[in-house]
Structure 1
Amino acid sequence: MDMATMKNMGVADRVIRAIVGIVLISLVFIGPQTPWGWIGIIPLATAVISWCPAYSLIGMRTTK
């Protein structure tokens, strides 16, 4: 299985996840300064690799 067949996220999905991830991570440094902001690593990482494990489990794809 090559990397192109593993991708299950479209461009819009990736952009939204990246923004959410960056916003959550920024909470660690600004705002309420809560360590819960580190959860933003998950959506940011899935945006970078274009693959969501939850989508794989339920058979969902947002790619063309």
Structure 2
Amino acid sequence: MRNVGGIDRVLRIVVGAALILGFFIDGDGAYRWLYLLGIIPLATGLMGSCLIYKFIGVNTCPMEKR
């Protein structure tokens, strides 16, 4: 079930992609691996579903509930 939509989805994809790009740009940073956390917002943005949103009952997707 989709619960991420619109601007929320676009922002997740942009932020996730930027963080992953930062991983490749920051050559030898001590905490370089933290950039890989960008996989999470990128994946939830592409899939349109967020597990945390499901648990707290948030839905930003404009589709009608059935």
Shorter-chain TM-score: what band? 0.7 to 0.9
- Cα displacement string for residues 28-61 of structure 1 (whole angstroms, at most 9, x for unaligned residues): 1113651111000000000011000000000110
In the alignment, residue 46 of structure 1 is paired with which amino acid?
Answer: T
Aligned to 1:3: none
Residue 26 of structure 1: how far off its partner (Å): 1.0
Q: Are residues 1:50 and 2:48 paired?
A: yes
Aligned with residue 62 of structure 1, among 46, 57, 60: 60
How far, CA to CA, are the matches of 1:23 and 1:31 in structure 2?
12
Percentage of pairs with the same residue: 42
The answer for unaligned runs of 5 or more in structure 1 is 1-5
Q: CA RMSD in A?
A: 1.2
The answer for unaligned runs of 5 or more in structure 2 is none
Aligned to 1:8: 3
Q: Secondary structure at the match of 2:46?
A: helix
In the alignment, residue 44 of structure 1 is paired with which amino acid?
Answer: L
Q: Which has the higher helix share?
A: 1
- Kindly tell me the number of residue pairs found equivalent between the two proteins: 59
How far, CA to CA, are the matches of 1:54 and 1:23 in structure 2?
22
Residue 10 of structure 1: how far off its partner (Å): 1.0
Does 1 or 2 have the higher relative contact order (CA < 8 Å, sep 6+)? Answer: 2
